[in-house]
Structure 1
Amino acid sequence: MTTMSSSQTFNSSALQHCRPQHFGRRPLRAAQFGSCQRWACVLQTQRCQQRTNLQCHAVAAVVAERAKAVERIPTLPFVKIAGQEDMKLAILLNVIDPKIGGVLIMGERGTGKSVAVRAMVDLLPEIEVVPGDPFNSSPTDTNLMGPGALQMYRTGEKLPKGQAKTPLVELPLGATEDRICGTIDIEKALQEGIKAYEPGLLAKANRGILYVDEVNLLDDGLVDVVLDSAASGLNTVEREGVSIIHPAKFIMLGSGNPMEGELRPQLLDRFGMSVNVTTLLDVDVRTQMVLDKMAYEEDPDNFCYESSKEQGELRQRLVEATKKLQQVHMPADVRLKISEICSLLDVDGIRGDIVTNRAAKALVAFEGREEVSLGDVEKVIGLCLNHRLRKDPLDAMDGGTKVKLAFQRITRPREAAEADRAKQEAASKTAAGSKAGKKAGSWGGLP
């Protein structure tokens, strides 16, 4: 009988999975044994891969279930956010007219910046999309179609239609440029040997909202990329032989704490509106906020149900304002006043003029009227210009106050002149009072 060395010993259980020709009454030769051993290793590898796939599917199922559980928890209703009227107004105006250019919300921690942004999504209507399309493509508007849907449309294929919630995409601080703009699909490159584009966050945010928390801590280069796409409505990608242009029309919302750093003036100018929020000091408002928060945490579904009527009314107002926006008229003299104010404040460029015009018209549409007045401009011009002013470290006056004074000087010159005279008289009286009781020729009242 043929004997086997120790290197040729094998597990008998592995033979059960070997090829049939390796079995018989005769003893196995060394060559036959080697083939059997290799085949057993292949089967064992396949079993490991199957177990790994099952584990991956199990983990993915758990993650998906947790994500669904989080999605089932409703957000705090927008109408229940107490105070911060300027912040809420700026957000609503951008919903009515996304061409305003987004909102930059700067303020201390705990002032409701992130809560307001996430609550806004529930006010937005559902959008018509091509199901399964990563770009949220519109089945009818070619300007809102991704590359795949646009190609199908041009070849005459009928695009399927579906409804989806307006997407809210949050851009994390650790995101890279490839993750934001998109990159090569490695899986297709390895499996199929083709160069394919994998959409990034800008593609997912198309026709929705892109929210950047702590935007002042994000790399300036990434902020430039995002703001360029927000302004142009397109994202151009050039990666390893892949060249693609896809729509990226979204509302850009950024928030941050000014104590952690400021944005460059070039980046500030790219945001349509800017709001500085502070902690509410009114005792009644703070108490109501605490009660609402506790009620929401105790029973979110019931709390949102009680606010559903107000939410529905506000949602309907936004829909009607969006439809009515094209009917709003702005008189020529109002446009001239806006430009005069921007010139008086020495605002660089004309973005401030354009945004103020758009914001005033959106406010009029939101209030159900058809003609813009100077009163409407006064409500929004501070939000549109305060972040575009040149900052003087020695000047303690904030940008919003400067804009209000400039508006008063242009629209109500007589009142502004009287206010200036009153300030001068008050300053003169203060100076005269400080000199009273001093000896002539004395310095500082000293002998």
Structure 2
Amino acid sequence: MSARYPFSAIAGQDELKQALLLTAVDPLIGGLLAFGDRGTGKSTAVRALAALLPEIKATTCAYHCDPDSPGTMCDSCRSAKTHKTRKMPIPVVDLPLGATEDRVIGALNLERALSHGEKTFEPGLLAQANRGYLYVDEVNLLEDHIVDLLLDVAASGENVVEREGLSVRHPARVVLVGSGNPEEGELRPQLLDRFGLSVEVRTPTDVSTWVEIVKRRDSFERDPDGFTALWAAQEDQTRKRIVKARKSLNSVSVADAILERAAALCIHLKTDGLRGQLTLMRAARALAAFEGAKETTEVHLKRMAGPALRHRLRRNPLDETGSTTRIDRAVAEVLGA
């Protein structure tokens, strides 16, 4: 297996890296949408994060169920008296643009049906990605019905297949990560809202960052193992922070005053529904946990307001200001500078 670029070695793109780390701390945040320039390390960051995360304990079934969480198991694992277990890396599954619905959700195994006359289920990409990341590059070019399907499954944590005489229900708890270039098309507003966080990924504008990125990438390509070894200590430190944050997440308090401030910000921005506030609260709490805080503060709210809300703003024909600027202005007005 080829070495993956170390997550800690990624220079710049701080907002993208922070958002990815928070989805690892609390998958309930709801995934991540990264829009921006080509060649800015979006896919590199996703794969690097997966390599950074600790291995998971899983059953040997096709869905690598969590043996310590019976409520999220497939029917086969749930009915078994004992389970064979294994350690495995966090799954990271790429969804190609041309993937069919059968390839995504699974379908009848035609070979077994024709040769043995048996109706058996052939798991799809959602099964492979269970308990991990499903990465969709150029998500804005994906067919709408596939995107709808992915978002529904990501929200429910289950994939239900009813077709060709099959009736299958299996766990599909995935963190959906989409990336794309806005110049090639935009996602529909109702789909944007279903992603938990959204980050803007731009080509660096300062010379020092640009040079550092090129130097590090060149060093990695010339000696992957040596370069990876140089960053091993920082990778291990970040991994320990993620594990610690996961354990402490539920004990991090969110005072009513913080919820009220988050609500006031969402109302001021006229975001639709309550999903924005819920995501903002979860992201701020995950950030607090990652930084070792015992309670969520306004500082955490301010830092996560952009990623949690920028893709949920209504378009105002009388205000052509960018979403990030609108949020910064609202944060200053509602929460103070």
Q: Please report how far the alpha carbon of residue 326 of structure 1 lies from its aligned counterpart in structure 2 after TM superposition.
A: 0.7
**1:139 pairs with 2:72:** no
Displacement, 1:187? Answer: 1.7
- What are the superposed Cα offsets for residues 288-342 of structure 1, whole Å, 9 maximum, x if unpaired? 1111011101000000011100100000000000101011001111100100111
TM-score by length of 1: 0.74
Could you tell me which of 77, 92, 112 is aligned with 1:188? 112
Q: Is the 8 A contact 1:216 1:263 kept in 2?
A: yes
Q: d(CA) in 1 for partners of 2:182 and 2:317?
A: 15
Q: What is the identity, as a one-letter code, of the residue corresponding to 1:249?
A: R
Root-mean-square deviation over aligned CA pairs: 1.1
- The CA deviation at 1:145 is 1.8
> What's the offset of the Cα at 1:210?
0.4
SS at 1:73 equivalent: coil
Structure 1 residues 376-387: aligned runs within 5 Å: 376-387=300-311
What is the distance in 1 between the residues matched to 2:204 and 2:65?
41
Q: Which residue of 1 aligns with 2:34?
A: 105
Check the 8 A contact 1:352/1:384 in 2, yes or no.
yes
| Cα distance per residue 1:338-390 (max 9 Å; x no partner) | 00111111100100010000000000000001111111100001110000001
- Would you say 1:331 and 2:255 are equivalent positions? yes
Q: 2:93 aligns with which of 147, 152, 169?
A: 169
CA distance, structure 2, for counterparts of residue 187 and residue 134 of structure 1 = 18
- The one-letter code matched in structure 2 to 1:101 is G
Shift of 1:221: 0.5
CA distance in 2, matches of 1:143, 1:403: 39
Who is 1:352 aligned against?
276
Report whether the alignment pairs 1:375 with 2:299.
Answer: yes
Aligned partner of 1:170: which letter?
A: D
Structure 2 letter corresponding to 1:260:
E
Secondary structure of the equivalent of 1:386? helix
Shift of 1:219: 0.3
Which residue of the partner structure matches residue 147 of structure 2?
Answer: 223
Structure 1 distance, partners of 2:241, 2:77, is 32
Counterpart of 1:12 in structure 2 is none
* CA shift for structure 1 position 395: 3.0
1:99 Cα offset (Å): 0.2
Map residues 53-202 of structure 1 onto 2, 5 A cutoff.
Answer: 72-131=1-60, 133-152=61-80, 156=81, 158-202=82-126
Corresponding residue SS for 2:311: coil
SS at match of 1:371: coil
Which letter maps to 2:250? Q
Residues in 2 aligned to 1:140 and 1:388: alpha-carbon distance in whole angstroms: 36
Deviation digits for residues 240-296 of structure 1 (CA, Å, limit 9, x no counterpart):
111111110011100000000000001000000000111101111111111101110
CA–CA distance in 2 between the matches of 1:151 and 1:189? 25
What is aligned with 1:21? none
> Which residue identity is paired with 2:120?
A
Q: Is the 8 A contact 1:181 1:235 kept in 2?
A: yes
Deviation, structure 1 residue 394: 5.4
* Residue identity in the other structure for 2:49: M
Q: Note the alpha carbon deviations across 1:16-44, whole angstroms, 9 max, x for none.
A: xxxxxxxxxxxxxxxxxxxxxxxxxxxxx
Q: Residue 146 of structure 1: CA displacement?
A: 2.1
How far apart are the structure 2 equivalents of 1:294 and 1:112? Answer: 14
Q: C-alpha distance in 1, partners of 2:113/2:226?
A: 49
Query: Residue 17 of structure 2 aligns to which amino acid in structure 1?
Result: K
Post-superposition CA distance 1:179-201 (Å, at most 9, x none)? 10110011221122121111111
Alignment of 1:279 with 2:177, yes or no, is no
Alignment partner of 2:330 out of 398, 406, 410: 406
Over the matched positions of the two proteins, sequence identity in percent amounts to 45
Measure, in 2, the Cα distance between the counterparts of 1:161 and 1:99. Answer: 25
**Secondary structure, in 3 states, of the residue corresponding to 2:253?**
coil
Alignment of 1:216-365 (within 5 A): 216-365=140-289
How far is 1:393 from its partner?
5.0
Shift of 1:392: 3.3
- What stretches of structure 2 of length at least 5 have no aligned partner? none
- Cα contact 1:143–1:247 (8 A) shared by 2: no
Q: How many residues align?
A: 337
Larger radius of gyration: 1
| Structure 1 gaps, min length 5 | 1-71, 416-447
Distance 1:368 1:383 in 2: 21
CA-to-aligned-CA distance 1:107-157 (integer Å, 9 cap, x gap): 0111111111111111211111112x11111223223322322232xxx3x
Q: Distance in 2 between matches of 1:281 and 1:204?
A: 38
TM-score (norm 2): 0.98
